[in-house]
């Protein structure tokens, strides 16, 4: 049975099934380092050889089931495959092997999610809402609450300024606020919460709780143990592309912190 497949009482139907997923990146034209002192003629001959394709096996046979109402933290050291796994769940990277089944369309909210730097915060809210499928009337109703939730106008009229003038924390808060204005079947959040201040983190935690209660599933990648502990009841620990542990956050997180 896949981890998570047993139903806890307060959880709903499966929203994401990840079944033995492998993700392999292919990197063109990267040669292994040549030993020092290679003769010049040899170097010239090697340059004419066929381009080298190297493979990075980033996710190695990951399996689990996520259910409605779950918030799942993904932890692991740098390069352990967390972002790659989120992108595979979002359908942005095809698995090399295995399958991802999702209920509804997962939405990936990353630190680098595409907002337009030369446009104002206000324009980005409008475009973001319309891109998420809101009608113009829904966007008008959602607009001011989004700006208020992001808290970007607390000191000045920042929403009227281009986003390139925002701090990274302000931009991350606005991205989260836009994405969280809609209900999601599956919301994938990559490090976006860690950049906000304490007050914003509390607001976003509450909003994630509401999204879960609306029968959504939330995945959260973070290097902040407190963010994971406060937001997620279940945690998956990835280690070199494999699941090292999957279970209640209060068991997995201390284990990860002791070993990472
Ligand atoms: N576009 C890419 N092309 C080639 N290799 C990649 C690419 N993106 C990631 N990788 C490699 O895949 C592996 C997993 O990377 P990934 O970004 O998923 O890890 P992560 O756990 O999210 O790391 P971090 O905590 O640093 O964000 C790493 O070895 C990384 O170098």
Q: What is the pLDDT of residues 7-49, one digit of tens each?
A: 566 678 899 999 999 999 998 875 655 665 656 656 655 556 6
Q: What is the pLDDT of residues 85-139, one digit of tens each?
A: 999 999 989 999 999 999 887 888 754 456 788 999 999 999 988 888 889 999 9
Strand partners, 28: 53
* 241 falls within a domain: yes
Q: At what angle do helices 168-180 and 198-213 cross, to 10 degrees?
A: 20
Mutate-to-test residue for ligand 1 from 73, 79, 227, highest number of ligand atoms within 8 A of CB: 79
Mutate-to-test residue for ligand 1 from 22, 84, 228, 238, highest number of ligand atoms within 8 A of CB: 84
Check residues 57 and 211 and name the one with the higher pLDDT: 57
Q: Whose CA is nearest to atom 1 of ligand 1?
A: 25
Mutate-to-test residue for ligand 1 from 21, 57, 58, 195, highest number of ligand atoms within 8 A of CB: 58
Q: For residue 131, report the distance from its CA to the centre of ligand 1, in Å.
A: 27
Q: Of the ranges 165-174, 187-196, 231-240, which one carries the lowest mean pLDDT score?
A: 187-196
Strand ranges inside 83-200, DSSP E: 97-102, 107-110, 186-190
* 190 falls within a domain: yes
* 99 falls within a domain: yes
pLDDT reading at 259 higher than 80: yes
* 49 falls within a domain: yes
* 61 falls within a domain: yes
| Measured CA distances, 149 to 131, 171, 219 (Å) | 19, 13, 21
pTM greater than 0.90: no
Say what the ipTM of the complex is. 0.98
Residue 199 structural domain: 14-106+184-259
Q: Whose CA is nearest to atom 4 of ligand 1?
A: 25
Count of structural domains, the chain: 1
Q: Identify the residues whose C-beta falls under 6 Å from ligand 1.
A: 25, 27, 56, 58, 76, 78-84
Q: Of the ranges 178-187, 205-214, 217-226, 234-243, which one carries the lowest mean pLDDT score?
A: 205-214
Distance (Å, whole) CA 129 – CA 148: 15
Number of C-beta neighbours around residue 122 at 10 A? 18
* 255 falls within a domain: yes
Strand order in the sheet with 242-248: 107-110, 186-190, 217-221, 71-75, 234-239, 242-248
Ligand 1 nearest atom to the CA of residue 76, by list position: 21
Ligand 1 nearest atom to the CA of residue 241, by list position: 14
* 139 falls within a domain: no
- Kindly report the CATH number assigned to the domain that includes residue 32: 3.40.50.300
Number of C-beta neighbours around residue 242 at 10 A? 14
Ligand 1 nearest atom to the CA of residue 59, by list position: 14
* 113 falls within a domain: no
């Amino acid at each position: 049975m896949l981890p998570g497949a047993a139903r806890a009482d307060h959880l709903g139907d499966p929203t994401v099934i990840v079944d033995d997923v492998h993700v392999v990146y292919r990197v063109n034209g990267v040669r292994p380092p040549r030993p020092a002192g290679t003769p010049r003629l040899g170097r010239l001959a090697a340059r004419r050889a066929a381009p080298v394709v190297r493979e990075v096996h980033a996710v190695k046979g990951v399996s689990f089931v996520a259910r409605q109402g779950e918030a799942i933290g993904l932890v692991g050291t740098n390069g352990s495959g967390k972002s790659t796994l989120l992108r595979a769940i979002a359908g942005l990277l095809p698995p090399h092997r295995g399958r991802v089944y999702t209920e509804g369309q997962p939405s990936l909210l990353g630190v680098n999610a595409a907002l337009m730097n030369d446009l104002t915060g206000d324009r980005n809210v409008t475009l973001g809402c319309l891109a998420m499928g809101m009608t113009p009337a829904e966007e008008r109703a959602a607009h001011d609450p989004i700006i208020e939730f992001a808290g970007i106008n607390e000191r000045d009229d920042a929403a009227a300024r281009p986003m390139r003038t925002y701090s990274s924390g302000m931009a991350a808060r606005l991205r989260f606020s836009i994405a969280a204005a809609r209900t999601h079947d599956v919301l994938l959040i990559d490090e976006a919460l860690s950049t906000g201040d304490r007050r914003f983190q509390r607001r976003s935690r509450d909003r994630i709780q509401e999204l879960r209660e609306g029968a959504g599933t939330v995945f959260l990648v973070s290097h902040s143990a407190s963010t994971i502990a406060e937001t997620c009841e279940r945690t998956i620990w990835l280690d070199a592309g494999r699941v090292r542990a999957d279970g209640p956050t209060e068991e997995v997180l201390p284990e990860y912190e002791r070993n990472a």
